[in-house]
Chains A and B, each alone.
Chain A
Amino acid sequence: MTAEEFRLLRDLVYERCGISIRDDLKFVMERRLWPRLEVLGLPDFSAYHRHLRLDPRGAAELDFAIEALATNETYFFREKPQLQAFSDEILPRLEEQNRATRRLRIWSAGCSTGEEPYTIAILVKESGRFEGWDVQVLGTNISRRVLASARRAEYGPSSMRAMPDGSLERYFDPLGARWKLKEEVRSLVTFGQLNLVELEQGQLVSRQDAVFCRNVLIYFDLPARRRALDLFHARLHEGGYLLLGHSESLINLSASFELVHLKTDLVYRKPRPGPGPAGGGRP
């Protein structure tokens, strides 16, 4: 990949989806996109750039490119301490806050192939706090291909490597060498295509009680991260929670959220207006 090809592809990916690739990661882009050249029978990355820009199949191919460049590794029950904090501390607070509406909305932003929103759905179910409630976990991603895979809800062994004992049998049916998630969990989750750096697309998301956006902001540059955070802020209820990846923080990004110290994790929360500590119900 020449420097020119890298720049053309980097600019195109940034322009279409806000994913920012640093100059020193040229070799990463080359490694990840090389298989696409083989599949398409293209001679070099200039031809690949033209294909993305001009070919009628370019939009579909961009999905492959994004998936290769920015689909994070994911599996069920990833980052257990944070999930523990969500189950033990955030869900009880949300139950308290939403007792009047009996409605729970959680958004997995950048949901990859679905392991995260389905994990959240399992946790909500296992908490036993929301029986009879209107519960919806929303998974969004920019890649249509990834979403198609998430909707199929069929997973192999690598997705199951952190699955707690007994959960595999409880929530999945065997499907050859893979497993298919049972309908009782799938029915709690919906999916949609959404570009996190386009604020107008936020209209597609209803107001949420919690947003999971783990290891996604790392792919954006500073302005794009801020746009995504503005979007989360706009779509969260006051008192709603924002959960980032364990190595991510809002330092130098946004002061619109407050830091909340839970027993096993630090999370962010959209402050409630007016004086007094956060707490209490929502009408």
Chain B
Amino acid sequence: MMDASGMDASAMEEERYRALLALDLRAVGALEKLEEALSDQSWRVRKAAAERFSQLPGGFEIALTLLGVMGKREQTGARNAAAEALVHLGRRALHPVLAVLASHPDPDQRKFAADVLGQIGDREAVGSLLVAVERDADMNVRASAAEALGGIGGEEAVRGLEAAFHSGKELLRACALESLIRLGAPPPLPSLVPLLEDPGLRRAAYRALGLVRQPAAFELLSRGLSSRLRSTRDAAMAALGVAWLSGRDDQRAELEQAVRGGARKVEGAREAIASALEGDDPELKAGALVLAAALEDGQPAEAVAEAARDDRVVPVAVFALSRLGAAGGRALLPSLTQLSTPARAVACEALAGMADPSWVAPLADLLGSGEPDLQRFAARALGRTGSEDALRPLLSALSDASLGKGAASALVSLGAAHPHKVTAELRALVDRRPTPAAVWVLAKLGGESAQAALKKALGDPDPAVRAAAAEAAGNAGGPLGLELLRQAMADEAAAVRAAAARGLGRLAEGGEELIRLALSDQDPSVQLAAIESAGEARAYSVTPVLGSLLASGDGLRASQAVQALARAGGLSEKHLRLAVGHRDPEVIKQALTSGAALAAAAPLAAELLSHQRWDVRLAAARALRTCGTARELPAVRAALALESDSMVRAALAEAAAQLASR
């Protein structure tokens, strides 16, 4: 479609849209332009206008303008856009909209007002909405008011909705029930039971049943699953999802027990599950997955795993697959390579804990699959089979750069079941051809018998092998550990020295001088490892060196130095002042956390309540809760009055309450 200037309709729409975004709201006539845009033929322009209304200063006059647009019966698009703009205005629109709800002669306007109030969500509207639910002359207004209360909540709203639910008026009853479900406050079980047979209310009644969280309700759900009516079965299945998603762990266990009893009686359960998983309703999908779990190894495992493509139901999919059992899990293993990435991830998570000796062969196949995620899973699961047969594939994987670490961890698990066999094989391997992972695991499992191998590995031409040996030497401890670490600290490769510096923190004694040496190493990675070790070893004698690092512009070094100083008992007021003045917010936050025991911390934290970053203000508020006194209370209250960030506000409120009680 082209106009006379050669501009097509979409280009003209784009022009109006961009003009609206660029409109100067302080200019004369801005309000009128926005009002006009609410009636634009393009919904995109109308939507943008609705959003921009909230950026106008003031409130009352704007709300009246918008309510005027809402009165234009013939312009549906403009009315909807005006309602949206009122919602964006929020509390500023509250009183004019409440006035419309209370006394406008047009029921349509009152209904719109109720909808808007529900979306604004301000508790101040509850009283007026309850009056509308109870007394409005128009049933549609009463129903909308009941729906709106579901968007606001609170005890008063719930009580009013319960009364409306018992009122006997069908539409009002349905809206009140939906709102009670939305607020997580289902009506009592006896009043729900008759509704399970009511075709109009069945689905809502089942959902409410899912929120009741009592064994009797779970039994009713389980019975609903066996219904021959698809609508009843699906409603019960969705309710099962609601119950699982909203329940605590102990309630989930009861739910599982109730469903397991009835699951085998569900006709065509596998097909029903597969069909529910193809849809887009997360509650129905979750319910299908809970039902699948109850079928144990009879579940359609691949479809269950593929449900994980929907992030919303991932935890339920993991739960369902975790009920497959060893035989069901083994049957799924060969299909893993064909599954999508999210499906594999949940399958691997669920299956890893179930491995038994009968899984070794399929797991060894997966280890050679060339698919990194499945290889990692296979290594972990092989370690958990507890089978000697898993030793061979895991030893082979030790030399694989990307798999070595996982295989090493798995061998540690396997070593618990077969210590002699695993250690002997590892020692032979390290003698023949040491790899970093093999050295690491041998040191972990071998105890004293591994010390000779460690010594040898420290002389290996490969620096990665030497680094692994140095890392392990810290765990060896004692004079031998110290000797090995001394040797490693003289290594020409920074990776080996850094590994040794990390090990120094684990030595019971004798490491402080080497830590001092490592702190002055030219390589930053060695220095960083030494800082951490200084804290771990409580090395008080090196605190002057750590203090000097606070002046470093490097945030990582400075924040670790603060932490190490606190652990070594050497964090002083001077250090604290230096750290909170650091340009890196991570250093400031670390100082507030580590220095909360110092007297100077409270006034410093109070000053930081006006910091530009929310996370620093949050750390300051939390520090004050711990170390503040009544002296800081006025500063906390002043900050609370100005704070717009909800997380920081909550921390400030807690701090204010704490300080007021001191």
Contacts and interface: CB of A to CB of B under 8 A. Distances in A.
Given A31-B314, A157-B371, A158-B371, 12 more contacts: A27-B314, A28-B314, A39-B405, A53-B555, A54-B554, A73-B309, A73-B341, A154-B370, A158-B337, A251-B44, A255-B44, A271-B8
Given A158-B337, A158-B339, A54 B559 contact: yes
A55 interface: yes
A52 to B, nearest CB: 11
Contacts of B41: none
B556 A55 contact: yes
Contacts of B584: 54
19 contacts: A3-B647, A4-B615, A4-B647, A28-B311, A31-B314, A54-B554, A54-B586, A56-B524, A73-B340, A73-B341, A154-B370, A157-B337, A157-B371, A158-B338, A158-B340, A177-B369, A255-B11, A255-B17, A256-B14
Interface string A122-161: 0000000000000000000000000000000010111001
Interface in A228-283: 251-252, 254-256, 258, 271, 274-275
A225 to B, nearest CB: 14
A158 B341 contact: yes
A255 B10 contact: yes
Nearest to B593: A46
Name the residue among A56, A158, A251 with the largest chain B CB count within 10 angstroms.
A158
A8 B616 CA distance: 11
Contacts of B370: 154, 156, 175-178
A252 B47 contact: yes
A176 B368 CA distance: 8
A80 interface: no
B13 A255 contact: yes
Nearest to B314: A31
A71 B341 CA distance: 10
A25 interface: yes
A53 B555 CA distance: 9
A255 to B, nearest CB: 4
Contacts of A8: 615
B419 interface: no
B247 interface: no
Contacts of B530: none
B647 A50 contact: no
B344 interface: yes
B339 A50 contact: no
Contact of A25 (B311, B368, B525, B555): B311
Contacts of B38: none
A7 interface: yes
Interface of B: 2, 6, 8, 10-11, 13-14, 17, 44, 47, 309, 311, 314-315, 337-342, 344, 368-371, 405, 524-525, 554-556, 559, 584, 586, 615, 618, 647
Nearest to B318: A31
Given A4-B647, A158-B340, A252-B47, A275 B14 contact: no
Q: From DSSP, what is the main secondary structure of chain B's interface residues?
A: helix
Name the residue among A154, A156, A178 with the largest chain B CB count within 10 angstroms.
A156
Contact of B556 (A4, A54, A161, A274): A54
B340 A156 contact: no
What 7 pairs between A and B have smallest CB-CB spacing?
A54-B556, A255-B14, A178-B370, A157-B337, A156-B371, A73-B341, A177-B370
B315 A27 contact: yes
Name the residue among B10, B309, B344 with the largest chain A CB count within 10 angstroms.
B10
Contacts of A56: 524-525, 556
A157 B341 contact: no
Interface in A52-83: 53-56, 73
A158 B366 CA distance: 13
Contacts of B6: 274-275
Contacts of B2: 275
A54 B555 contact: yes
B45 to A, nearest CB: 10
Contacts of B371: 156-158
B617 to A, nearest CB: 12
B586 A53 contact: yes
A156 B337 contact: yes
Contacts of B615: 4, 7-8
B236 to A, nearest CB: 26
Contacts of A158: 337-341, 344, 371
A4 B342 CA distance: 26
B655 to A, nearest CB: 15
A66 to B, nearest CB: 15
A50 B14 contact: no
A161 B647 CA distance: 46
A7 B342 CA distance: 24
B314 A156 contact: no
Interface string A82-109: 0000000000000000000000000000
Name the residue among A39, A54, A258, A275 with the largest chain B CB count within 10 angstroms.
A54
Contacts of B524: 56
A159 to B, nearest CB: 9
A254 B524 CA distance: 48
B310 to A, nearest CB: 11
Contact of B338 (A3, A73, A161): A161
Contacts of A27: 314-315
A77 B6 CA distance: 40
B274 to A, nearest CB: 18
Contact of B586 (A28, A50, A258, A274): A50
